[in-house]
Structures are given as C-alpha cells and as structure tokens.
Amino acid sequence: MNGKIAFEEHWSIMETLEDAHGFVGGSSHWDTFQRQILDLGDIRLAEMDKNGIEFTIVSLNAPAVQAVLDTKKAIDLARRANDKLAELVAKRPDRFAGFAALPMQDPEAAAAELGRCIKDFGFKGALVNGFSQKDKPDPSIYYDIPAYRGFWGEVSKLDVPFYLHPRGNREASYEGHPWLTSSPWGFGADTALHALRLCGSGLFDDYPNLKIIIGHMGEGIPYSLWRIDARMRFSPRGYTGKRYLGEYFLENFYITTSGNFSTPTFQCALSVVGIDRILFSVDYPFEDTNDAASWFDSLQMAESDKLKIARTNAIKLFDLKLK
C-alpha cells in the first residue's frame, strides 16, 4: 500500500547517538544502525519508497534530553537538536516534518521551546522520551504533577499532539533481570503508567482538547482498560478524575502500530479504541520498515479502513497539507 504516513521514526545527532547503543545488537549491526539513524536523506528516503511510506515525522532518539541532569544543558541540547532537525527537514518538506524535543526539566522552557518549534519551523507537535531526570538520577519526574499544568496549557493552546515515547525503566524490582528494563517490558510498562497518571490527574478535565499519542499498540492499555475501570468502581483509592479513567483514554489518546506487528494485538486495540484513533508507524530504525509495512499491508480488512490507519487519520491529526 502506497501513501503511508509514519511518525514514531527516530533520528539522532552525534551527541545523543550513544544513547541508542544499548538497544542495538552486535557491532556489525551497530555500524548499519548508525548510518540509518544519523541520516535524514537518501538512506531513509530509499527505505520509505521501498515500503510505500510517503511522509515521515521525525523525532530525536531516546532518552536524550530527558536524561540530562543539568537543566541549562538540557535546554541547550533540545534547542540545538531542534535547530538541526529543522535545517534537515527544510531540504525535503514534501517527505519530512519534525517533532520538537523538549527540556521537560523546566516546564516553562519546554513550553517556550515547543512554541518556537511550531511557529518558526512548522513542527507538528512534540515527542518526549518518558519521564525526566533533574539534578540527580532519582526521583523520576512525571508530567501529571501540578508543576506541569502551565506547560499543558500551552500545548492545549497550540493545539498540537504530544507523543509520549518510552525510555529505559530503572525499577528496583527489575534487579537481576536487565532485559526487563527496556523494550521487551519496561518501555511499555513505564509509558502505560505515565499515561494512566495523566488520565487520573484531572489533566483532561482542565484541558479536554489535549491529544496524546502512545506507540506499540497502546503499551498494553487497550487490553487492560475494561478491568482498570471495573476495579476502580470498587476501589478508587484517591482517584480524582471526574469520569472513569477509560473515558479520558478513549477521548484524549491515539495509539500507533509502531514496533508491535501482531495481528491479534492489533485486533484488540482496534476494537477498544476504534478506527479513528489507531495509526500506522514503524519505530525506525529500531524496527525494520519492511516488517512493519508488509505486516500492515497484509491485514485482512476493508481498504477504506486501512487507508484511514495508514494515512488519513494522520493527515487529520497533524493537519498535513499532502496532495
């Protein structure tokens, strides 16, 4: 299927490249991976063309800015990465757009940087790599806390999507099992926790037009959403939302197929969130574009529905001016 749009697609500057090393295989694959993630030109375009992807929204790799303990350095890194991404995107605006990297260590600076990227560069929103660290490795900072209400107010005012992307989890309960901390489990578990915290914080009562995206077929939330709401009827334990948590999720979240090319998982996600809130993506270059595209293209469903997931939902969500 041609004309697909993808937007959990990663790019790196040299300064953040090493952050990706632990998620890539042996040295021979690392050499290939470096060429892929540093490129925003011929290599990536060839991969897109081969797999029917017309347009890609690109974001800085993880954890990058979110792991910089010094706030001033985080602000500087975000700005330099966004400037470079804007420079590269401007060479092929028919094929690429950008997501802003944000220094969430400082909510006011993050809001200002998002505004700059939207107004000056035409970026399509932000992608933030999970929780942030500031001054010291612990504790992790999640964005449901009151200090971030002003930031979310600016996101709401700008009316752009916010992609909540995973980063490595450092739970003490994973001790002795480092494989649990990243993409096999910890990525999804921590992002799901973060998303549920946002749902349960009253954020979407304050800013009902917020649009949050999570990847990997919803990080397990669609599978568990019924039980979450069912059990909270009996044991709310301090929940402050005005409606059931699931209502916020279904009204304020979008999910992508990135890195989860499982038909049963897709069918579950689709039945829970609906055709208008699930969108195609790859997670390149951490995932193989051909795996993502060939799996999606082979799905047995109406072509009109596939077109929504692969293309028209994204055009609407990001207000893309594609022919």
Residue 196: name the closest of 168, 177, 219, 176 by CA. Answer: 219
- What pTM value is reported for the model? 0.97
Q: Using an 8 Å Cβ cutoff, are 51 and 293 in contact?
A: yes
Determine contact, residues 168/63, Cβ cutoff 8 Å: yes
Region 225-247: mean pLDDT is 87
The helices-and-strands tally (H runs, E runs) of the chain is 14, 10
Which pLDDT belongs to residue 237?
80
| H or E element at residue 249 | helix 245-252
Question: Which tokens go with 306?
Answer: 């596939």
The pLDDT value recorded for residue 21 is: 87
Summarize pLDDT for 148-173 with one digit per residue, the tens.
Answer: 999 999 999 999 999 999 998 777 88
pLDDT at 138: 86
4-318 has CATH 3.30.70.3270 classification? no
pLDDT at 170: 74
Is residue 83 scored above 80 in pLDDT? yes
Q: What is the pLDDT of residues 171-195, one digit of tens each?
A: 788 899 988 988 999 999 999 999 9
Q: What is the mean pLDDT of the chain?
A: 95
- Are 32 and 25 a contacting pair, CB within 8 Å? no
User: Does 25 have pLDDT greater than 70?
Assistant: no
Domain extent listing, the chain: 4-318
pLDDT for 95-136, tens place per residue? 999 999 999 999 999 999 999 999 999 999 999 999 999 999
Contacts of 51 (CB under 8 A, 6+ apart): 4, 289, 290, 292, 293, 294
Closest to 317 (Cα-Cα) out of 98, 138, 173, 162: 162
Please work out, in degrees rounded to the nearest 5, the angle formed at the alpha carbon of residue 102 by the alpha carbons of 5 and 39.
50
Distance CA 236, CA 240 (A): 9
Active-site positions read 283
